[in-house]
Amino acid sequence: MVLAGKHALVTGGSRGIGRGIALKLAEQGAQVAVNYLANEAAAQATLAQMRACSGDGFIIQADVCQPDDIRHLFQTVEAEFGTLDIFVSNARPEAPTFFYPPLEISLEQWDVALDSQAKAFLLAAREAAALMPDGGRILALTYATGGRTGSLQPWVAMGAAKAALESLVRYFAVALAKRGITVNAISPGWTEDSVLNSLPEAVQELQRNWHGGGWTPMRRLGTPADIGKVAALLCSQDAGWITGQVIYADGGASLMNSEVAPEIQLG
């Protein structure tokens, strides 16, 4: 129970990767505030799973695209917990709200992506830091590949938003270093029970077969539990010398050379 006595907030914590992180933090002893946008039943299910593994916490509805909601979110955390040791910025809007190529995307769709990532993190990290004692932990979930490539055209808004988010992580890491508060980003590879499962079944199977065939050297997709374990490691006391970094949690997929067929790379 290395996080016993700690208090955490996970945005978008009701499902997928957010749920995996919330459950692992609770399993290690933290009390966890689970933020959700619309699916209260999923949030309640996550809270029930946390309690089943001897954890606890509460759920709270808030839209991280709305500054007033972010302020209310942290006011509620302060009222419930009194303090905050861990903040995980994970919430992301559903793909149909931003998933359009650069020649078609509207400014409104662009704003949804940027507001949910860069602006939300800017505001939330400041609120979190104000509640944190020295030695706190701030994490952001990114997709670093989408921020540095351009082939998945409809990802343009979220790719730009995640790139801005990663930059903010570095700036906050420097700003908060003197207090011993670490700020890092986790970049999962393709993960089950996440955005993957909102895609057509044929696309899902293509991804599973592609990564299982070797594009991920560990020959499988990730799981929310995999990412939860990485988050817990970065939240531990022993990780206090790691800050301002993007940690790839992808089974080695980011090590592959996109210019060479995986059959040649893997021998």
The pLDDT score that the predictor gives to residue 248 is 98
Residue 263 lies in a domain: no
CATH number where 235 lies: 3.40.50.720
Residue 130 lies in a domain: yes
The pLDDT score that the predictor gives to residue 263 is 74
Q: What is the tens place of the pLDDT at every residue in 60-70?
A: 999 999 999 99
The pLDDT score that the predictor gives to residue 45 is 98
The pLDDT score that the predictor gives to residue 146 is 87
Query: Can you give the residue range of the structural domain that contains 82?
Result: 7-250
Residue 255 lies in a domain: no
Domain count, the chain: 1
The pLDDT score that the predictor gives to residue 200 is 78
The pLDDT score that the predictor gives to residue 71 is 98
Residue 76 lies in a domain: yes
Q: What's the whole-model pTM score?
A: 0.96
Q: What is the tens place of the pLDDT at every residue in 194-239?
A: 877 777 788 888 888 888 888 889 999 999 999 999 999 999 999 9
**Three-class DSSP labels, the chain:** CCCCCCEEEECCCCCHHHHHHHHHHHHCCCEEEEEECCCHHHHHHHHHHHHHCCCEEEEEECCCCCHHHHHHHHHHHHHHHCCCCEEEECCCCCHHHCCCCCCCCCHHHHHHHHHHHHHHHHHHHHHHHHHCCCCCEEEEECCHHHHHCCCCHHHHHHHHHHHHHHHHHHHHHHHHHHHCCEEEEEEECCECCCHHHHCCHHHHHHHHHHHHHHHCCCCCCECHHHHHHHHHHHHCHHHCCCCCCEEEECCCHHHCCCCCCHHHHCC
Residues of the chain with pLDDT under 70: 267
Residue 90 lies in a domain: yes
Residue 116 lies in a domain: yes
